[in-house]
Structure 1
């Protein structure tokens, strides 16, 4: 990246996400307006994070909670909401917002049916963006000492990006606001054309951002650019952030940084970019941080296994020596076969190993008459045995300067010696 990039990590909020800000604000405004009364029930359609913020506020203030979410969201999110006392209703993802089965419609219906209840409706409740105008925006301005030039944030309800943008634009109209969207959401096309095109809408795996309608919290006039990111790129980037930066974050953070990478050619060395990292990676253990889930969706390349490496070997013959063979015989075999290391057998059992280094050192350090010494007197420990189903990347745990090879027995029972040379040939 050509400039300074800062992450505003929101996982330190009580509910581990940026949504705590607007959840508390919506409750406080509802109380002030008399819409939420003592002993009442908070109802909300949520992907999980807003629900957590509302649930924590409800625990402190004595309200009940009913949360409506979609079957796309991670199981961890629903489990966490239940853990803090919320009732969770799961609805199908792939239905239109006006469909009576959608989580928008179900939340609205429950608000009418449950006495003394309040439907927060984070999408159209302007207390959402007000929370970020009053807190997130001022914090970023203060923390960067007014030096921020770009704010990058994923867009869902529109509250975070719009509220923060409004404040920052008031401080400096030249600050660029870049909203990150996902393919399958209609927000990007709406921003560019003003058209709500349902043909843009299709299922996607990314969580917490992107929409199939335009929430009222959006004010597109304070946003300068929308950038779409694929499900795969966002997921892979989130995992990179965890491994390379030590920040365990969620899908939105990965997509946010990926979107910035796609736009990096627009940046100058003097720019100061702030990316918002929305929530914690613990909410995505069964999905984003699960290798099997990632591979099933083609987000991780299928890694070459040691068995695959064996199948690529041109010469699959197993060459070995016996404990009673001499050092001179070992030297000759290595020379004839162009082999640098060999297992040493005692009958049908591998009991040791010999390398060209062992042999050469012995021959150089001892008179030639001692080259008739048996290998059992100078051999090293056997090479490590490795399962053929292990990924090739695991070879680095075994093969080193001191251990030049491993032993692998394939499914047919044939034994093979695998070296770094074999790995290089397979690549």
Structure 2
């Protein structure tokens, strides 16, 4: 038989072998997606790192409340406003907090920043491997580079606290360099000039990333990126990529294998690629809605989208709704402030006003369209504004999702350290119930 026919036959078999009656999930009380019937998450672990709050659990059910995000017990709103109120860059401070569990004093912070810079340059072997890598997806290149770091680590399998912390700081430091270099090499493969800029000691991570990626940047661009990095650094243990870190770490595997798995999870369009989906939708709406300030015209088009009659016919308005947040996503509110200021600097205030009006009308139309079919309020999530912000900063779309990884590596490593330092270690192993009927083996000549 030809290989194409075998592949076709095997593929056709999936139609029946992968079909499971939806009623069976209810019969056996299966928590699909590890979600409860009220759409809250199934409790599978405990953590002291981050907390995501969008509702209160009352005897009569869930009550929507304004969203809160806490890093080691500190409200991220207070963290961001406190740091930026002192006109400082904050991502390094957030990383220190997540890794250690406490806010550093000035001397500790300066020492940590110096350590970050010392780890940021790539070793010659690593650098040459990046130059040799081919590919059109920076997330894929990032995952391969992380796995290669295992080779250059003199003690890669050591899970002692000291070694885990060293590896974590090394990864946090090198992600910006790897991503910036990988993108510039990708551009070079398409005939563009190759720029390899070395990180500067006096720059923050946000500043160094912009410098290595594109050379020039404004102070507001760097401050905005820094805020985005702080806001994406951690989001509890239940998000898909962080849970991947906890699952793989519970097996005792090495840091690089665990983080590479998390990158694979974040690469998925249902997780890390959401801001790209919003940007594509926003570009479409700018072209198809003639009057950006007319509520009736906007409402008509959004309802066509909800009825699956326009755009990509999925019935989705990207960037609206979240698994936990109900009334508001604190990250979206904080990033929206910077988006407003950046839009003024870039003379894109008309686009910002349109996006802000889209947010208001999308929530209103979604709730009206769904009616009693949806049992909770919805809000704009952080992805609704992050893509627009990155675009105004001058970042190419190829680095939008890698930028998410560059920030979330802090949360990933903090959760890995916590998972491996529980007093009672236990591999994460949930159950799946088999619902296939038993069959007799049939000899080959009788088939």
- The alignment's TM-score, normalised by the length of structure 1, stands at 0.23
TM-score relative to the length of structure 2: 0.22
Report which structure shows greater RCO (CA 8 Å, sep ≥6): 2
| Structure with more strand by fraction | 1
Structure with higher helix content: 2
